[in-house]
Structure 1
């Protein structure tokens, strides 16, 4: 194994020294790299990937192979390599899961095409090995409680019956735990952020890119751009805080976002900040209800009439409807 590690690093170092590798050299590197990489240890793999993430001449097949490795190895390449095309990034995000998508979000220059793909990406909730494929949300849709596990055959005696009851009880407890400790995307029908959407919102807040933030927020809410902008225009930060808590964003990330857009929330009061006071004053369930009410009002405002008339579709009339609706978005304090 040690010998393979040395050969892998020597191969990578030799390739790095080539300023303009020829087609023959690229082909030779592609043929050598994959078997050497697979035969090497984890540390050698990480070092090789970190070194290649700075190269501008990685063959496409090798670039895709590296990007598809576990994120503990592939992260530097996903974040920094200039050899990954938009199509590769989108494919990796869709096929490799949330960890790879989060690494891609950290790239300095993401094209609108990749951003759109990441925003719209939905990571299906994976069922843990050994657990029933049907989750608590499916049971709620059916109006049932979490399902008990039924033994494959009837118990033959008192001992078998006791074991069967214990197993059924364990399954019931697991089902109740899954019901109470819901995943972020399973909050009794309330809308929640995906991991990719949260990462994008934090990224755009860090850059104070209000335009991209509003676009991502509108997509997250499945609402109009007008609603997202209306939320951001509340200079107190109260409506954005309500929105982020209603979407179940974590406190650390939410406070970072709020303080980037509304700097007065950084002000220290005693042993806390204005932002923390605002955040702790909000109840998640109530925020979720406010958010759904805003979304319904937004949907009514922008829904097309069944039989539109010229007057109904004119710009001045639309502006009147929007102006008349604005007070609905005031959050009760």
Structure 2
């Protein structure tokens, strides 16, 4: 045998050891009736370094086993939940370690496959259930958009926004697409009890004055916030989560969620940037009127 043959045997042996250790650690953890915080942290510390070395079958085993645990290691659960749905499904359907914020982030990151698995949860928050149905509905339809009233409304909105861009000579405001850090700051601000935290985060993200950001956030009408988040090029699920937190009560039923999704999908980013620029330039008295005009179409 050559030296390369010995190296391949050694690699396979090490991989086999990693997989056996990975499975054994998870089996031992799941056998604990009430694992302590220290034991939960220990499992994360042991399994995460091995994660890339174990097989798909081992990851699927881990997801199925941990989905039944009352107290699962957060790091490993997060890593498994971001795997393809063929692996992550048990956690998406059953794990209590995944809260509403984590579930929406997963939907935003992985789309319909994860959303459909999450929809099977027994304790799913009604707002997330509505979002999943709204996201799933358009994908299942084969009807031409021109034959659908919502599609026509979206087309009209796009045309109006293009007109606004032309009238204003294009956007005078440069808005950079949101990063993961931007999204986290916006979400943290929206979830805080102090509205000024969110308004400050929005002002920083858009590059506008604080007073302009205040005018863009209305508890009774989230349309201007929708446009602002579209200008930041956030995913629709990320934007939905932020609006839900910043403007509670905006989505009382499936129809309101579907309308949000259709408006968000139907709006081009550059048109949204132009609209934010126009609003921040003209001030509060015209912001509400402009939003009402767009929504009426």
Question: TM-score of the superposition, structure 2-length normalised?
Answer: 0.43
Between structure 1 and structure 2, the one with the greater Rg is 1
Question: What is the TM-score of this pair, normalised by structure 1?
Answer: 0.39
**Could you say which structure has the higher helix fraction?**
2
Q: Which protein, 1 or 2, shows the higher relative CO under an 8 Å CA cutoff with sep ≥ 6?
A: 2
